Chain A
């Protein structure tokens, strides 16, 4: 069973999370969604029912509700079109998971000697690859943008993180500023809107 904690999330985030979880079930299984308001209960119920699920819900206590979703193998989605969209949605990854994100704003770590700063940063990024629980996203801006391009000392580590599903994002304005946009070698280009959104939605923000 998948448990989704959507307590504290405002509409339509609980629906987005549920939709993603249904997509991850691969056809059948159970999902439990925890929410803190009735609008979310009703909307999550609608989302699940439109995917062919059997849904029930309970009020656990004041401001806490549980929606139970069961999808049997071979359940028909309410409409084929919705199923298609679900798949498409998963690819675009708009789904919010409150995991840790790493924000890198310089190619050096800490204040002091620059050479030491470069070494520390390379070492920090290597250490990230060794974490048991990888961050969901890593965001590089200003001087940090120099770390995701060709010739970056940390390129191999970052590529390995990307292969393991960590989303590597580099500020496009910064790449332009330093004239290294063509050299981007790992991850994607992002903008300030996405950066702010990612930081706002993260459960934990790690800064070297």
Chain B
């Protein structure tokens, strides 16, 4: 049995969408461990002064995602709070021998990422009212997208390691994976899928503080290959409800990739690099 809990403050203005995003994010922890969500409980903080219909919309968004995940929403708990917060505690099942860990990367593995990155930057641009409507919509759609199909597709393959990409940014999660597996991850920055216009916004300085913190955290373990600054910002950008990062044997990578694409996943799947024998640094960019 897997038990997880995650909740956060609104990242978008639309309450229904926020409910979907937060629920997708909470459910993602179960998929990242190779599990199937079975039961979910709402966690709600909501101010008395706001229209209760807004809360209704948040809960509707969450309930729709739980339903999409095939799980049952069995209630929850709410408290009065100045700032709205929403999330889920999720119970999932997984066969004990099939739990994905972040420690199993093996040299030669191929790294596959199932969502575009850059949601922190795009959300900052939205906050600054500098984001285009298309970019904002794409980011919201990607955040709200459930990692269910990606988790299901991977079940038929050998997954040496898996993690979901969230607050530590892609590189933060890569560093953890590399450290746990005692390997070096070789990332090809040009192959990573980025959200629409995320590069433009990062160049304009719409970079959340968390991205700089993440970068400081990974810097000692990073051979950055002198890549352009904007890529470092995006690779360290904290993600809300990010995708799954799989480390799979090279022989199975093509199969998993076509399987992922065959399931019509709404997000962009990319092969972002491979696993090397442990080198001086945990991550090498090029």
Which chain A residues have a beta carbon within 8 Å of chain B's beta carbons? 11-13, 15-16, 18-19, 37-39, 42-48, 50, 78-79, 81-82, 85, 89, 92, 94
Instruction: Indicate whether B255 reaches chain A with its CB closer than 8 angstroms.
Output: no
Interface size class of B (residues with CB under 8 A): 10 to 19
Query: How many angstroms between the C-alpha atoms of A44 and B204 in the bound complex?
Result: 8
Query: How many angstroms between the C-alpha atoms of A92 and B215 in the bound complex?
Result: 33
Chain B residues numbered 81-133 whose CB sits less than 8 Å from any CB in chain A: 124-125, 127-130
Q: Are A43 and B130 in contact, with the CB atoms below 8 A?
A: no
Kindly specify which of B65-73, B205-213, B276-284 makes contact with the partner chain: B205-213
Q: Which residues of B contact A50 (CB under 8 A)?
A: 203-205
Query: How many angstroms between the C-alpha atoms of A16 and B131 in the bound complex?
Result: 12
Interface centre among A12, A15, A46 (most CB of B within 10 A): A12
Instruction: Indicate whether B200 reaches chain A with its CB closer than 8 angstroms.
Output: yes
Q: Are B212 and A12 in contact, with the CB atoms below 8 A?
A: no
Q: Are B129 and A82 in contact, with the CB atoms below 8 A?
A: no
Contacts A46-B229, A94-B129 supplied; 18 other A-B pairs, CB < 8 Å:
A11-B124, A11-B208, A12-B124, A12-B127, A12-B128, A15-B204, A16-B128, A16-B130, A19-B204, A38-B212, A44-B205, A47-B204, A47-B205, A48-B205, A79-B200, A79-B203, A85-B130, A89-B129
Query: C-beta contact mask, B124-167 vs A, less than 8 Å → 1, else 0?
Result: 11011110000000000000000000000000000000000000
Min Cβ gap A60→B in Å is 20
Q: Are A43 and B200 in contact, with the CB atoms below 8 A?
A: no
Min Cβ gap A83→B in Å is 11
Q: Is the interface of A mostly helix, strand, loop or mixed?
A: helix
Q: Are B209 and A11 in contact, with the CB atoms below 8 A?
A: yes
Which chain B residues have a beta carbon within 8 Å of chain A's beta carbons? 124-125, 127-130, 200, 202-209, 212, 229
Which 9 residue pairs across A and B have the least CB separation, nearest first?
A46-B205, A43-B205, A47-B205, A12-B128, A39-B209, A94-B129, A15-B205, A50-B203, A12-B124
Min Cβ gap A94→B in Å is 4
A82 with B212: in contact, given A11-B124, A15-B128, A92-B129 (CB under 8 Å)?
Answer: no
Nearest A residue (CB) for B125: A12
Q: Are B128 and A94 in contact, with the CB atoms below 8 A?
A: yes
Min Cβ gap A36→B in Å is 12
B127, B129, B200, B212: the one contacting A42 at CB < 8 Å is B212
Interface centre among A13, A39, A79, A82 (most CB of B within 10 A): A39
Q: Are B128 and A82 in contact, with the CB atoms below 8 A?
A: no
Q: Are A43 and B129 in contact, with the CB atoms below 8 A?
A: no
Query: How many angstroms between the C-alpha atoms of A16 and B206 in the bound complex?
Result: 9
Nearest A residue (CB) for B207: A43
Query: How many angstroms between the C-alpha atoms of A94 and B204 in the bound complex?
Result: 16
Q: Which residues of B contact A92 (CB under 8 A)?
A: 129
Interface centre among B125, B203, B205, B207 (most CB of A within 10 A): B205
Q: Which residues of A contact B229 (CB under 8 A)?
A: 46
Q: Which residues of A contact B208 (CB under 8 A)?
A: 11, 39
Query: How many angstroms between the C-alpha atoms of A58 and B91 in the bound complex?
Result: 51
B127, B200, B202, B212: the one contacting A39 at CB < 8 Å is B212
Query: How many angstroms between the C-alpha atoms of A39 and B207 in the bound complex?
Result: 8
Q: Are A42 and B205 in contact, with the CB atoms below 8 A?
A: yes
Q: Which residues of B contact A42 (CB under 8 A)?
A: 205, 207, 212
Q: Are B130 and A46 in contact, with the CB atoms below 8 A?
A: no
Q: Which residues of B contact A39 (CB under 8 A)?
A: 207-209, 212
A sample of 7 cross-chain residue pairs with beta-carbon separation below 8 angstroms, ordered by A number, consists of A11-B207, A11-B208, A12-B205, A16-B130, A46-B229, A92-B129, A94-B130
Q: Are B206 and A43 in contact, with the CB atoms below 8 A?
A: yes
Q: Which residues of A contact B124 (CB under 8 A)?
A: 11-12
Query: How many angstroms between the C-alpha atoms of A94 and B127 in the bound complex?
Result: 10
Min Cβ gap A194→B in Å is 12
